[in-house]
Chain A
Amino acid sequence: ETGVTQSPTHLIKTRGQQVTLRCSSQSGHNTVSWYQQALGQGPQFIFQYYREEENGRGNFPPRFSGLQFPNYSSELNVNALELDDSALYLCASSLESRADHNSPLHFGNGTRLTVT
């Protein structure tokens, strides 16, 4: 069973640039969620994708956007980067079905983004 993998592991960008982070879900999972974790804080929910559509969004501006592909891999895109976007970005996958919404999240180890 392949776990959740994220790429790249580290990234440095300049304020105003755009960034794309990638995530491969755990085999068999159909739902992906993205979280932002600032230093010393708990992860904050950005959004979730289910069947290639956004299925819930946290308190993040529209410059944070995402995609889920037919193979359930996903991307997080952030436009017009700000210094405060510096954080660990975590991807998590799960298997959701009508019968069972209790599927726990399986997290990757994240992408550390630094905006200078």
Chain B
Amino acid sequence: DAKTTQPPSMDCAEGRAANLPCNHSTISGNEYVYWYRQIHSQGPQYIIHGLKNNETNEMASLIITEDRKSSTLILPHATLRDTAVYYCIVSRSSNTGKLIFGQGTTLQVKP
């Protein structure tokens, strides 16, 4: 599975959009981009995933560049409860149970 690169930390003001970048320049054609987050003292929580097209659900939006070498997770109106470590993971669909987590991005939402 391809490796991902994320900034170690980011800050965001409460109520503003949080844009979390992820580089995955070695992604192959059959690999999906998954985002999970882990709030302190809890297990990781699935947020969203996509292959080529942009995706949106009730939690977030995922923007994938046309060459698929990078993506951005957007939390449209960040709240204090969105403070967490966010993991960007690239994986083949047949490997969704065998995810390779990196260090992730620690997002701090500030009042």
A residues in contact (CB < 8 Å) with B: 4, 31-33, 35, 41-45, 48, 50, 55-56, 58, 90, 92, 94, 96, 101-110
Return B101 CB to nearest CB of chain A, in Å.
3
Contacts of B25 in A (CB 8 A): none
The number of residues on chain B lying at the interface, defined by a beta carbon within 8 Å of a beta carbon of chain A, is: 24
Contacts of B100 in A (CB 8 A): 45
User: Are A107 and B94 in contact (CB-based, < 8 A)?
Assistant: no
Contacts of B101 in A (CB 8 A): 35, 42-44
| Complex-state Cα separation, A17 to B56, whole angstroms | 47
Stretch of B9-17, B44-52, B69-77 with 4 or more beta carbons under 8 angstroms from chain A: B44-52
Task: Give B34-90 interface residues, CB cut-off 8 Å to A.
Answer: 34, 36, 41-46, 49, 85, 87
| Complex-state Cα separation, A58 to B68, whole angstroms | 27
